[in-house]
Structure 1
Amino acid sequence: MTTVHLTHDRPAGPVRHAASKVPEVTVYFWIIKVLTTGMGETASDFLAHWLGPVPAVGLGGLALVAALTAQFAARRYVAWIYWTAIVAISVFGTMAADVLHVGLGVPYALSTPFFMLALAAVFALWHRTERTLSIHSIHTRRRETFYWAAVLATFALGTASGDLTASIGLGYPGSAVLYAAAIAVPAVAHRRGSLNAVTAFWAAYVLTRPLGASIADWMAVSHHRGGLNLGLGPVTLSWTVAILGFVGYLAASRKDIPHDLVR
């Protein structure tokens, strides 16, 4: 996946460093982001099969509340806390999309634009209230609330859109190729100066969800569904181990913390 620096559009002054609640956008950020999207996809399906849909959603909801409580309680960005919240949102965001489709019978062709509108509404309210969507401005409780609402909407949208493209003939490998190509569009546009950093970041952020989910599904599902038939449990476990490895590295090296904040 093409990596670009999407952190140049920053507010002037040092205020963002006073209580930074999000990591610097580096290559590690995008790697872990893709891993969490895939892990959340298969973990959600695994829990639904193992526990049943209702207990799985309940457990996912409790995990989400606990993770976000810890994140909001932290005074600044902490790798383990932040990425635990992302994983919890990944799992619950998948469940939200699946509840609409499996539980309520809403087709992906309708749930995808629904979540797209939900995300647009979050962005519109966020920008109207704060006059910025930059992740480098997340230094107040209200902005952090908008940030996590947007993140949750992107995960639900990515789940629905990834399943939509897979179900209309592309399959999971084809969907992965589609979203890998799509994610290069904002990267190239930003590199050429035709797309600002904030817009490029959120476009890439949205697209990483169906990209990672499509890859993980392709690895997990059966051969007759076009997959490698590795199983939901093994794929979830292997991606979790990879996430733990990268997050542990960041926690130790602090490479995703601004240099002037490293002590």
Structure 2
Amino acid sequence: MTYDSQPTTSDAAPRHSSAPPRPAVRNKVPEVTAYFWIIKVLCTTVGETAADLLAEKAGLGLTGVSALMSLLLGVVLVAQFRTRAYRPGVYWLAVALISVVGTLISDNLTDNMGVPLEVSTAVFAVLLAAVFLIWYRNERTLSIHSIDTTRREAFYWLAVLFTFALGTAAGDLVAERLGLGYLNSVVVFAALIAAVAVTRFKLGVNAVAAFWIAYVLTRPLGASMGDYLSQPGADGGLGLGTVVTSVLFLAVILALVVYLSVTCKDAPLDDPES
């Protein structure tokens, strides 16, 4: 399912023979295909279950795990920024780690600092809106088909971080504070994503806006799915545990990333929309 718009040759500016050759532009983000959404949801699920697993069983606590995972994320993001084009392994490792860190940021605010979920959800929504505003004012686009400069990539990953933090807080707010439960939350967020798809493909809603709305909604969808699978039956889950759930989803992510690395089915266009 593709939300973001694709560039067309008919919209390109006419080229003059006297103009210098345009250097090849290499987008750093994959094409938005079914693989993109599947891996994204799986990463959000792993972000939820892995954060709980590390905090509870690694003996580091929320603060220690947050510091460790933030350090690992920083290392991977350095590698991501140093690549000259989209590399599935590096890119999706960054997404998986940023999912864990986004979850931990929200959990720290709630569990360690006592910030109500209503407040953290609102704050993350404002921060994400501010990132989008500053990004657009500087670059005149929020399209992921044009993540081809260091500044645009910095805006992109900052936005991704806040979508994960916002999605975590919103998912916990709906499932726990409002008492909807994990399975019902999965249904609600899946229905909202389906509604976004309908408005995009049937009503012609702006492709970039639809993409980012769906991107935010996949976070609480994946988090609710992870909680439903891992939490004990007494709490409304299936009781698979965080270890089994995390390993299962990580195995699927790894298989898909290897497949995409070999086939290049999600490789971005060489000449993306700017």
Instruction: Please indicate, yes or no, whether the TM-score normalized by the shorter chain is above 0.5.
Output: yes
| 1:150 corresponding residue in structure 2 | 159
1:100-115 matches, cutoff 5 A? 100-115=109-124
TM-score for the superposition, normalised by structure 1: 0.94
1:55-66 matches, cutoff 5 A? 55-66=64-75
Letter in 2 for 1:49: E
Structure 1 unpaired stretches of 5+? none
C-alpha distance in 2 between matches for 1:186 and 1:96: 27
The question of 1:7 aligning with 2:14 is answered: no
Q: Shift of residue 192 of structure 1? A: 1.8
C-alpha distance in 1 between matches for 2:128 and 2:162: 5
TM-align CA RMSD: 1.7
Helix, strand or coil for the counterpart of 1:18?
Answer: coil
| 1:254 corresponding residue in structure 2 | 264
Q: Shift of residue 54 of structure 1? A: 2.0
Q: Shift of residue 137 of structure 1? A: 1.1
TM-score for the superposition, normalised by structure 2: 0.90
8 Å Cα contact 2:63/2:108 also seen in 1:
no
Q: Shift of residue 13 of structure 1? A: 4.7
Residues 258 and 78 of structure 1: CA distance in aligned 2, closer, same or farther (over 3 Å): same
| 2:17 corresponding residue in structure 1 | none
Q: How many residues were matched structurally?
A: 258
Helix, strand or coil for the counterpart of 2:63?
Answer: helix
2:35 to 6, 28, 31: 28
C-alpha distance in 1 between matches for 2:130 and 2:146: 19
The question of 1:166 aligning with 2:163 is answered: no
1:73 to 72, 77, 82: 82
The question of 1:180 aligning with 2:154 is answered: no
C-alpha distance in 2 between matches for 1:111 and 1:178: 21
Letter in 2 for 1:112: T
C-alpha distance in 2 between matches for 1:92 and 1:260: 31
| 1:202 corresponding residue in structure 2 | 212
* Percent of aligned pairs with the same amino acid: 50
8 Å Cα contact 2:29/2:268 also seen in 1:
no
C-alpha distance in 2 between matches for 1:143 and 1:75: 14
Q: Shift of residue 144 of structure 1? A: 0.4
C-alpha distance in 2 between matches for 1:180 and 1:95: 23
C-alpha distance in 1 between matches for 2:268 and 2:115: 44
Residues 208 and 17 of structure 1: CA distance in aligned 2, closer, same or farther (over 3 Å): farther
Higher Cα radius of gyration: 2
C-alpha distance in 1 between matches for 2:5 and 2:135: 20
Q: Shift of residue 6 of structure 1? A: 1.8
**Higher normalized helix content (fraction of residues):** 1
8 Å Cα contact 1:16/1:137 also seen in 2:
no
C-alpha distance in 2 between matches for 1:205 and 1:193: 19
C-alpha distance in 2 between matches for 1:217 and 1:186: 24
8 Å Cα contact 1:119/1:150 also seen in 2:
yes
Q: Shift of residue 260 of structure 1? A: 6.0
| 2:55 corresponding residue in structure 1 | 48
